[in-house]
Amino acid sequence: MIDSTSVLFGLEDEFVVTGLERLSESDLRVVIECRDREAPCPSCGVLSSRVKDRPTVRVKDLDACGQVVQLWWHKRRLVCPEPLCGTRSFTQQSEAIPARARLTGRLRGAIATEIATGNRAVDEVARTHGVSWPTAHRALVAAAARWLPTPEPTRVLGIDETCATSCCRHC
């Protein structure tokens, strides 16, 4: 069953909201966890549901209804049951929040779109969303790599014909 809070935050596909707390008039803390209790080992592919640990990581997300959302993902660190696999344990992964990411994919997409189409500086968009300039720039570069076509390979490379130093007799 899909809970209404997950639908409200657009998380119903992969996550369930397990906690919601108002921190201030304009700030919310939303705690989520994956719907699936088991996941395949990234190395060998064997399914595991044996929980080793439950780390909680903070993930930056889009604001909702004019409120700043602190998104906390209560992950499952699972034990790989395959004795021949070199991976002893692994954490659950998500399409919405890639491995080791501190921003949701939809926030990265929104940042990139605002920079590319809004005629706004990277710094301005970064400040609006509460992220650093390098984070906003990486979001733009990653989106541009998806948006732009692959360039044709370089067939001929020219060499500049001027010399900046007096190291040779041509200068």
If pLDDT is split at 50, 70 and 90, which confidence band does 1 have? very low
| pLDDT at site 99 | 80
Q: For the residues of the chain, what is the DSSP string, one character each? A: ---HHHHHTT-TTTEEEEEEEE-SSSEEEEEEEES-S-EE-TTT--EE--EEE--EEEEE---BTTBEEEEEEE--EEEP--TT-S--EEE---SSS-TT-SB-HHHHHHHHHHHHHTT--HHHHHHHHT--HHHHHHHHHHHHHHHSPPPPPP---------SSSSSTT-
Of the candidates 82, 66, 63, the one whose C-alpha atom is nearest the C-alpha of residue 130 is 63
Residue with tokens 């990277």: 122
| pLDDT at site 154 | 87
Of the candidates 76, 125, 82, the one whose C-alpha atom is nearest the C-alpha of residue 103 is 125
Helix axis angle for 133-147 and 105-117, nearest 10°, is: 80
| pLDDT at site 94 | 87
CA distances from 55 to 5, 14, 117 (A): 22, 18, 37
* Mean pLDDT computed over 61-68: 86
* Mean pLDDT computed over 81-100: 89
Of all residues in the chain, the percent with pLDDT exceeding 90 is: 53
* Mean pLDDT computed over 84-98: 89
* Segment 2-43, tens digit of pLDDT: 566 677 667 778 888 888 899 999 898 999 999 899 999 999
* Segment 125-160, tens digit of pLDDT: 999 999 999 999 999 999 999 999 988 898 888 776
Of all residues in the chain, the percent with pLDDT exceeding 70 is: 88
- Domain range annotation of the chain: 1-94, 103-147
Q: Is the pLDDT of residue 166 over 60?
A: no
Give me the chain's average pLDDT, please: 87
If pLDDT is split at 50, 70 and 90, which confidence band does 69 have? confident
Q: Is the pLDDT of residue 61 over 70?
A: yes
